[in-house]
Structure 1
């Protein structure tokens, strides 16, 4: 794993998913968060909760954080995660943009 400090919100994202804690998962995001999953768009915490139900905790997803590195700007990070569960299974990048210690946007795409 690349060694940098893992921002608390991203750590919460991973840990809440792995323990199936939907409320902790949602509160890792800002109220106006944007989530893009291969072009499917979700907005706000209600959108994050909807995605969580259909594509994450709702399908018993489990994350292993393989690497994390700084993104293109000081508030972005690219995490390489291996996902297992009853939905998507595989390894790929997730790009996080943080604001005020929370996830303001998450982009899942190659």
Structure 2
């Protein structure tokens, strides 16, 4: 597995430790998150997404694989938390694809691998 950039590591560490401010510091001011078909533009909407979809249900990520391709970083992580797991695979794996600018997350796409 490759060495991940600090902002990508901060995204997962802050999520796992429920640290909203540290989570937001990993992103650029005008960042874009695409979580499946939902888009979150800018830090304020990303803050709300994090509070409801990550911290609000105590999501915990466990990175299982990571690689760099064409300047983007892809991370496969299993996740658990206090959310409805009905009809979800076990383990639940998601791929997070990060595009960075100036060392911070400019774009994040979350999808199934």
| TM superposition score normalised by structure 1 | 0.91
Structure 1: gaps spanning 5 or more residues: none
Are 1:87 and 2:89 counterparts? no
CA-to-partner distance for each residue in 1:24-74, whole Å, 9 max, x for gaps? 001100000000011100011111101101111121011111111013x22
Following superposition, the deviation at residue 87 of structure 1 comes to: 2.6
What residue in structure 1 maps to residue 33 of structure 2? 35
2:93 match: secondary structure: strand
Structure 2: gaps spanning 5 or more residues: 86-91
Following superposition, the deviation at residue 92 of structure 1 comes to: 1.8
| TM superposition score normalised by structure 2 | 0.88
In 2, Cα distance between equivalents of 1:40 and 1:86: 21
CA-to-partner distance for each residue in 1:70-89, whole Å, 9 max, x for gaps? 13x22x11100111101376
Point out 4+ residue stretches in structure 1 off by more than 3 angstroms.
Answer: none
Specify which of 103, 106, 109 is matched with residue 108 of structure 2.
106
CA-based RMSD? 1.2
